[in-house]
Chains A and B, each alone.
Chain A
Amino acid sequence: MAFITANWNPLGEAFYRKMELYEMCWSLGDGLRDCLVAAAPYGGPIALLREPHRRSPSSRPQLEIYSASGVAIASFPWKSGPVVQLGWTVSDELLFIQEDGSVLIYDVFGSFKRHFSMGQEVVQSQVLEAKVFHSPYGTGVAIVTGSSRFILATNIDDLKLRRLPEVPGLQGTPSCWVVLTQDRQTKVLLSNGPELYILDNTSCTAVCPPGLGPQAGSIVHMSVSFSYKYLALFTDTGHLWTGSSHLQDKLIEVDTKKTTPPKQMVWCRRPKSQQPSVVLMWDKLLMVAGVCQDNIQFPIEDLCVLVGELDGVRIISSTNQELLQEVPLVCQEIFKIASMAPGALLLEAHREYEKSSQKADEYLREIKEQSMLGEAVRQCVEAAGHEYDSNTQKSLLRAASFGKCFLTDFSPDPFVSTCRELRVLNGVRESSVGLPLTHTQFKQMTLQVLIDRLVYRQFYPLAIEICRYLKIPDYQGVSRVLKHWASCKVQQKDLTDEAIARAVCVKVGDSPGVSYSHIAAKAYECGRTELAIKLLDFEARSGEQVPLLLKMKRSQLALSKAVESGDTDLVYTVVTYLKNEMNRGDFFMTLRNQPVALSLYRQFCKLQEQETLKDLYNQDDDHQELANYHVTASYREKRLDSRLSLLQSAVDEYNKAKNEFSAKATEDEMRLLRFQRKLDDEKGAGLLGLSLQATMEALLALGLHKQAEQLYRDFKVPDKRYWWLKLKSLAEKEEWDELEKFSKSKKSPIGYLAFVDVCMKSNNKYEAKKYVSKVTPEQRVKAHLAVSDLEGAADAAIERKNESEMGAVLARCSASDHLLIDRLNRAAAAKK
């Protein structure tokens, strides 16, 4: 396979190869002449803006967007202002930087997304030159204005305009300039005649590249590498200086013997390679200048555009597209003529094996003797990744697989993953898709991003196939693609809501991680509210539906969905929203239909807005709750008259609620309060706020029997209660005479056992005994026992011939009472 090295060109220790990627599918009449061209890195799309400078109302410039393989994606006449620069963002959006400083953003299909401006001053001074650059922060834009000022936006998605300091002595545009991202700062490097400056946020510093003598002349072209690590400067004497972008080390200085500045100058290096080189392009010549004095020269016939990539340079001409790159070390080792690297030997061994030649064994032995078989396999696998031609890939992978057979513990993972990845890469490199990604680029941009880009370009079936093929979990894979598909589907204006909803539902089904609310939100964004509501119906989690429904002003529906979700936080969110959105009446009416929301709001009002609570009840004509509200409020009131007036309102409401009982009770309370107030004023009794019972207790304790009596009558206190009360109170004060008088005042409604018990509680047996005789026969035994009169108890029990009572007495007898015990036993026996 000697021809693999046919297109290799040595440069110093390295080789460079130029491979054709595509024959372009486009047919450009005028080639790339008179065009503004922008091609995105990582095999991104190409945009052409034809004849941007010739302005006449009848002929507008035509904008065309192609895939990297030249398949037309979009084309439309440019109707906006004159464009200074085109550029792609990291997410494949096209930027148009116009003369007046406004930047228009279009998507890859040519539909307008949004725009922003580089500042008001630019409208006056105009943009002279502009550059689009990529950094870890995203895509940035830098411009030079007519007043020779630089304005930067580091990330167009988070727009912060920075006006860089003035450059001394700069008139018009600088001879050349680049944007650098260094030390987490974005700077501009520019040359003005012989001077070189670095502009950062605060200062403009004159710098001098080490080793570039004054005889070299002034810098007319400069270029920074993909990783912002290296810088190349081209002077008007044809010298090319290369070095680190920090301007601290010099790599080399070469005399190109060309006095015209190159049309384009792009770094060409691959990560980890020690051999950086610069590709320069003139009208008819392409030159690769490396770190040695050597260079490679290619003649070119057509006008080309160079696109710097992570690991090479793409050369786009009107007919084809080529990739110029340094041959990866591993490929060199394998394919270099007469290479004895293990990978090369393995490849050879496999070739012989296929020819059924015993030489295969010899080669294999040779590798095994050096115990390099593992290394050989690794090399073949790695080299396969770097090869663009599928036949070469196959032969390398077959060789690897062959070698693997002779290894016992060799992890198959790199082999398997390389096979899979190559299959994917070959798929996306297809001319119809047009993503000419190298393996290195693919690894750098990650699979996720690749899928995103496919999705963005609307290659949904391919994206889904890739996800399934690589077994990516649904959540990150298929579902994500479906989500994008559905979001795109809802924008199809030619289909009815019904059709779209059905199509989405059929495809998406209930794939995990696809949120219908998200799709619905998209539909709403496109102004299809009805479709959005239809889609929301598919959303299983009601909680997810709420925010969008609110946005669509379907607040009633949002509220009921929130309630359905059972998530009170969500209900509360809607309630707060409604509260601010609606007038009070409507708001209350809405709540009224949603008891859960209502009670939640009530809870909140109870703590935060007491007044609102009242309005709520008023609105509902909920007199019962309103009355309760007044009662609660009355207790917070210190002053008696306001308290009474609140209670009066409560009475009115209770009456309206036909709750006579509560109305009466509240009226009684008012009466009691007035009474207490009067007595407090007269006697300083400290009664206010006590319950009726407590009031009477206090009165009796103070000896105000008359007043207590009055309450007893006025408030229709049941006899029993009053008797208990008075009994306890008299006993506590040990007014035994009073007690006796009281017991005789009329027949006790609580019986007389209570008197006995209460006296005993005060340890007054003498008084207790007075009442024993008055106790009803049923309780007499108990009464006797209570005063520890066993004999009396026994008598009573025997008299009543009640066995269980006799038992109760017996239980209390101690051994010394044997006489009594005998009597009781006899009586019990007699009864039997």
Chain B
Amino acid sequence: MAHSVRRDCPELPDFFLLKRLARDQLIYLLEQLPGKKDLFIEPDLMSPLDRIANVSTLKQHEVDKLYKVEYKPVLSTSDQLCFLIRPRIQTVKWICDVANADKAAGKCRRYKIIFTPQKFYACEAVLEEQGLIGDVTTDEWSFYLLPLDEDIISLELPEFFRDNFLAGDQRWVRTAGSALHLLHSLYGPFSKVYGIGRCSKMAYESWREQVEEGEQRAQHAEIGKVFLIDRDVDFVTPLCSQVVYEGLVDDIFRIKCGCVEFGPEVTSSDKSMKVMLNSQDKVFNEIRNEHFSNVFGFLSQKARNLQTAYDKRRGMDIKQMKTFVSEELKGLKQEHRLLSMHIGASEAIMKKKTKQDFQELLKTEHSLLEGFEIRESISFIEEHINRQVSMIESLRLLCLLSITENGLLPKDYRSLKAQYLQSYGVDHLLTFANLRQLGLLVEQQPGETLTVMESKVGKLVNDKTAGKLSDAFSSLARKSNFRALSRKLNLVPKSDEEYDLRVPRDMAYIFSGAYVPLSCKLIEQVLERDGWTGLEEVTRLLNGHEFAVTGSNGADSKAKNDAQRIVLVMFLGGCTFSEISALRFLGRERGYKFIVVTTAITSSSRLIEALLDNHV
């Protein structure tokens, strides 16, 4: 493709090791419970587990039957039950019910709970409360990181976002720290760590603590720099509609754990098909980062190439034909299959997205980002609500409006909210309370009372505990400063110039040239400046909590230049495929390789769904 690729990009480290470590530990844990046993798996651990150890591996280690945790009485006849779960109180309670029911029925079984990635005191407290400490053994499977692709690693913890940012529950911070610690011990030592956000800072501290506790092995660093970023630093980017191929596929078909299920409308048969989407898929690898408008052109070019390759057969003699069949045909067939699948997917996307509605939606988003024609945008959103186009989409637009406009006028706030409630039910009052708490959808305060409070809090921040006190609910007082940030960092390119999406000139291409994602822009700036100097105004607008720390081996960092250009970016609270595409673009431009570590892959709808609080 037409990108100006820097040829000297360093090689990525191999993350297969992470999988092997996780698998070995799981096997060890299963063997701790000798004999045949039935394994109950938390539904959202199914797919990650599948990537680590498949059914036959489990069977080899005396797992008899596999069940999904469904909060129903168990039908298993085995006398050993093993539960592989996330540390959630609800699940532990269910296991207690199972054990107590067995007790009442006079059944004697052995129970073992394997918490992953770690156990929480609260879960053990439930066991204790129910008097089952003696009957149930617990263990930890420290499966922190699942490599989804060669440059994406996920913690597969979608609840991180809600727990940490909405509920103010910091239990996962240590998990993030441990994940970082694992990466550090395998691929470090890191020479430089940057970060922004309160959670990032805490995760960083937790990691440092673990480093100090453990022994340090001297080794060759494979990852040089690390950037930690909280999701609440940038809510705008994940709220925008994705238009890069991989992002679009995620928005429409929902990629789950690196795997997508294409329905009949894509496969053009009556069966749906599960496909792994990663760099192994050659066709996908070439289009995943492309703006959707280029994808068709690319695919048809590819199809023509393929045809030419097939056509070579004509005029071949027997011998040539033999080599063709044995060497090329399989590859071509494979490519053919992939190509037709992606063409099918693109068609399905076109059907859904190129309608006028979508164009207008994008237009509204762009004017919100630019800050023009706000009234029109508001009436578009109003109509969107009134016509009940989509519960999630409407909320998304409302949030985007609120963040970019620094809150809604009281009149608008009320009327839009009232209309939304009429459309989708009063229970969404709670959803609105959540959104307000996160600062995603707020009312503009009459007379800037907030700033006064802010400055007061600011004075207190020097005092450590006072800082922590005020931090805990800082999001309540959080004020979006999107407009000012956008000006400072030049996030919205001037719209009068034509933007050629085939030859992107900056990261804005992932949003059709309308907006450079804030999160990625920050990363770019900090890497360029090797710290936060010169960005003081920006960090002030972002509520601070920025840090840049040089590692212990900072001195010899110059020698190992390759590792220095491998940058690990950790998103606490999730990141979108569009952001990953933008970072890949940035990497190509600047000769970096980015490794994205995220608590989970997110998208606008996942983000909003996490904040819903209606009773369904």
Contacts and interface: CB of A to CB of B under 8 A. Distances in A.
Interface of chain B, main secondary structure: helix
A525 to B, nearest CB: 25
Contacts of B430: 628, 631-632
Interface string B458-471: 00000011001100
A437 interface: no
Given A560-B465, A564-B465, A569-B120, A635 B205 contact: no
A240 to B, nearest CB: 53
Interface string A570-609: 1011001000000000000000010110011011100110
Given A596-B468, A603-B163, A693-B388, A662 B429 contact: yes
B187 interface: no
A608 B163 CA distance: 16
A666 B473 contact: no
Contacts of A635: 427, 615
A159 interface: no
Interface in A699-734: 715, 717-718, 720-721, 724
B168 interface: yes
B331 interface: no
A718 B422 CA distance: 10
Contacts of A718: 386, 419
A669 interface: yes
Contact of A691 (B386, B414, B422): B422
A321 to B, nearest CB: 44
A632 B433 contact: no
Interface in A541-582: 541, 560, 563-564, 566-570, 572-573, 576
A721 B427 CA distance: 20
A668 B426 contact: yes
Contacts of A573: 121
Interface string A657-670: 00001100110110
Contacts of A632: 430, 613, 615
B387 interface: yes
A568 B170 contact: yes
A692 interface: yes
B167 A602 contact: yes
Interface string B277-304: 0000000000000000000000000000
A721 B615 contact: no
Interface string B411-448: 00010011101111111011001000000000000000
Given A666-B426, A720-B383, A661 B414 contact: yes
Contact of A568 (B89, B174, B387, B429): B174
B494 interface: no
Given A661-B417, A662-B429, A666-B429, A566 B170 contact: yes
B173 interface: yes
A593 B473 CA distance: 12
A607 B89 contact: yes
B169 A628 contact: no
B429 A628 contact: yes
Nearest to B465: A560
A724 B120 contact: no
A599 B382 CA distance: 35
A184 B615 CA distance: 63
Nearest to B388: A693
B125 A572 contact: yes
Contact of A607 (B90, B174, B464): B90
Given A569-B120, A599-B472, A665 B421 contact: yes
Contacts of A595: 168, 469, 472-473
A720 to B, nearest CB: 5
A56 to B, nearest CB: 56
Contacts of B116: none
B171 interface: yes
Interface string B231-246: 0000000000000000
Contact of B167 (A569, A599, A608): A599
Nearest to B177: A566
A721 B419 contact: yes
Nearest to A666: B426
A599 B169 contact: yes
B85 to A, nearest CB: 15
B140 to A, nearest CB: 12
B468 A564 contact: yes
Contact of B171 (A600, A608, A666): A600
Contacts of A672: 426
Nearest to A475: B215
Q: On chain A, which size bracket covers the interface?
A: 35 or more
B25 interface: no
Interface in A471-506: none
Contacts of B422: 691-693, 715, 717, 721
B122 interface: yes
Contacts of B93: 607
Contact of A566 (B163, B205, B473): B205
Nearest to B614: A635
A624 interface: yes
Nearest to B163: A603
A566 B120 contact: no
B174 A721 contact: no
Contacts of A564: 464-465, 468
B206 interface: yes
B120 A568 contact: yes
Interface string A493-524: 00000000000000000000000000000000
A128 to B, nearest CB: 43
A572 B122 contact: yes
A665 B472 contact: no
A566 B204 CA distance: 11
B615 A724 contact: no
Contacts of B426: 631, 665-666, 668-669, 672, 691
Interface in B43-88: none
A572 B121 contact: yes
A595 B615 CA distance: 26
B202 interface: yes
A572 B126 CA distance: 12
A666 B613 CA distance: 15
B209 interface: yes
A560 B425 CA distance: 41
A724 B387 CA distance: 7
B171 to A, nearest CB: 4
A711 B126 CA distance: 48
B337 to A, nearest CB: 35
A600 B472 CA distance: 11
A424 to B, nearest CB: 26
A694 to B, nearest CB: 8
B235 to A, nearest CB: 20
Contacts of A668: 426
Interface in A220-275: none
Interface of A: 541, 560, 563-564, 566-570, 572-573, 576, 593, 595-596, 599-600, 602-604, 607-608, 624, 628, 631-632, 635-636, 661-662, 665-666, 668-669, 672, 690-694, 715, 717-718, 720-721, 724
24 contacts: A563-B468, A566-B173, A566-B174, A566-B206, A568-B170, A568-B173, A569-B174, A570-B121, A576-B125, A595-B469, A596-B468, A599-B169, A600-B170, A603-B169, A632-B430, A661-B417, A662-B429, A665-B418, A665-B429, A691-B424, A692-B422, A692-B423, A693-B423, A720-B386
Given A568-B170, A599-B167, A690-B425, 19 more contacts: A567-B206, A572-B121, A596-B468, A599-B168, A600-B170, A603-B163, A604-B89, A628-B430, A628-B433, A635-B615, A636-B615, A661-B418, A665-B418, A665-B426, A691-B425, A691-B426, A692-B425, A693-B388, A718-B386
